[in-house]
């Protein structure tokens, strides 16, 4: 299914960091899109977003107040919609440990509500956003997103004869997203101290633009049932601190509850049903026809025992690369020439 000006799309969590970049990108490519529904629960964020993306300039825009916990409202919002991107979630790891049921209601039950609403409203393509923390989760946030992934993958088993595909996109930390380490370090560098959780810590990195492009590709090309994992570079937390504040102290404060030293997006247990498609991997459901998928998508099965881990990655961003990315994607006023990089 191709995206065109005649397409109709709904995005949950549409006023979040990803949602705003998704809407911006779609409107740039399809300025006269038939219908683009921004579904979220915060009226202030919708009001502020409407100042940037007005329905006067884009008549297909619709701002729908609603919560993914409300299945009836979701079903109404999905009417006359062909494609749904599910980006709504609670995602702060410490908050999940303290408020577990709130995360379960939104991330798990909300995912099931999206699935049921899409089946009831006649939606044809669904892409749900996941996280690296859903692979072998050690915190409640990751566990809820793993449950969400499983729900969307399994939904393909109960769609009946509907022309409907559910897929998942799983990627690492989004550079500059709210609550992430780079904006925190940019704020803290003026105090001369950048706290390091653990000197060995690594993370995958993806820009908002790259995340949006992957989701748009998945809406058009995903076969249904797969979890798509892009090839991404990693960074060392100490390199991020050096890139942002080379003169700052880096005291080690210890990892937070539920954190990992390295993030993993594909576990060795996933390897048996994982296909290498070049720019990305696809984790297929158990019992899938791997040869048929490889033929359709031009991929090859990964070797036995394969895993995809931020600590074992082939590509690590350098301090200089991090500075360039921060200026390009997070803060244009950031001075990338703080000091020479050896």
Over residues 23-58, the pLDDT tens digits come to 999 999 999 999 999 999 999 999 999 999 998 899
pLDDT at residue 99 greater than cutoff 70: yes
What are φ and ψ of residue 290, in 5° steps?
-60, -45
pLDDT at residue 303 greater than cutoff 60: yes
CA R_g for the chain: 20
User: What is the distance between the alpha carbons of residues 211 and 322, in angstroms, rounded to a whole number?
Assistant: 18
Question: pLDDT band for position 213 (50/70/90)?
Answer: very high
Question: pLDDT tens, 173-198?
Answer: 888 777 788 999 999 998 999 999 99
Token pair, residue 86, equals 């599910």
β-pairing, 173-174 with 264-266?
unpaired
3-state SS, residue 237: helix
pLDDT at residue 339 greater than cutoff 50: no
State the pLDDT at residue 335.
Answer: 77
What contacts 114, CB < 8 A, 6 or more positions away?
12, 68, 74, 84, 86, 126, 128
pLDDT at residue 340 greater than cutoff 50: no
What are the CA-CA distances from residue 51 to residues 16, 25, 58, 309 (Å)? Answer: 15, 16, 12, 41
Parse the chain into domains and list their residue ranges.
8-267+307-329
Question: What number does CATH give the domain 8-267+307-329?
Answer: 3.40.50.720
Question: pLDDT tens, 135-178?
Answer: 999 999 999 999 999 999 999 999 999 999 999 999 988 887 77
Q: Any catalytic annotation for residue 133?
A: yes
User: What is the distance between the alpha carbons of residues 175 and 38, in angstroms, rounded to a whole number?
Assistant: 23
Question: pLDDT band for position 2 (50/70/90)?
Answer: very high
Neighbours of 61 (CB within 10 A): 19
Report the Cα 25 to chain-centroid distance in Å. 15
State the pLDDT at residue 258.
Answer: 75
Given the residues 91, 133, 145, 260, select the one marked as catalytic: 133
State the pLDDT at residue 341.
Answer: 43
3-state SS, residue 258: coil
pLDDT at residue 301 greater than cutoff 50: yes
State the pLDDT at residue 53.
Answer: 95
- Quote the mean pLDDT of the chain: 93
Neighbours of 210 (CB within 10 A): 16
Q: What is the dihedral of CA 70, 74, 11, 113, to 10 degrees?
A: 60
| Mean of pLDDT values over 11-34 | 95
Find out whether 248 and 241 touch, Cβ atoms under 8 Å: yes
Range 160-170 burial, b when 16+ CB lie within 10 A, else e: eeeebbbbbbb
State the pLDDT at residue 336.
Answer: 58
pLDDT at residue 342 greater than cutoff 50: no
């Amino acid at each position: 299914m191709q995206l065109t000006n005649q397409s109709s799309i709904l995005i949950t969590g549409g006023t979040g960091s990803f949602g705003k970049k998704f809407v911006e990108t779609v409107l740039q490519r399809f300025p006269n899109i038939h219908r683009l529904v921004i579904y979220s629960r915060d009226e202030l964020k919708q009001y502020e977003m409407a100042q940037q993306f007005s329905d006067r300039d884009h008549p297909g825009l619709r701002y729908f107040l609603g919560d993914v916990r409300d299945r009836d409202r979701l079903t109404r919002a999905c009417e006359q919609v062909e494609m749904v991107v599910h980006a709504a979630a609670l995602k702060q790891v410490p908050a999940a440990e303290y408020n577990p049921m709130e995360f379960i209601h939104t991330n798990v039950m909300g995912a099931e509500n999206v699935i049921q609403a899409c089946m009831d409203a006649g939606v044809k393509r669904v892409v749900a956003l996941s996280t690296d923390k859903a692979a072998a989760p050690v915190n409640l946030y990751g566990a809820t997103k793993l449950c969400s992934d499983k729900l969307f993958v399994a939904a393909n088993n109960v769609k009946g004869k509907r022309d409907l595909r559910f897929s998942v996109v799983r990627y690492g930390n989004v550079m500059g997203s709210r609550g992430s380490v780079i904006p925190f370090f940019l704020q803290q560098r003026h105090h001369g101290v950048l706290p390091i959780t653990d000197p060995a810590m690594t993370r995958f990195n993806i820009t908002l633009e790259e995340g949006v492009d992957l989701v748009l590709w998945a809406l058009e090309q995903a076969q249904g049932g797969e979890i798509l994992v892009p090839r991404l570079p990693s960074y060392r937390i100490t390199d991020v601190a050096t890139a942002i504040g080379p003169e700052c102290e880096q005291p080690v404060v210890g990892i937070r509850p539920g954190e990992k030293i390295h993030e993993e997006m594909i576990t060795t247990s996933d390897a048996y049903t994982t296909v290498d498609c070049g720019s990305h991997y696809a984790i297929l459901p158990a019992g899938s026809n791997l040869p048929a998928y490889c033929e359709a998508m031009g991929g090859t099965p990964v070797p036995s025992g394969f895993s995809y881990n931020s600590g074992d990655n082939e590509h690590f961003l350098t301090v200089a690369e991090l500075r360039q990315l921060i200026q390009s994607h997070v803060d244009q006023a950031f001075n990338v020439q703080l000091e020479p990089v050896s």
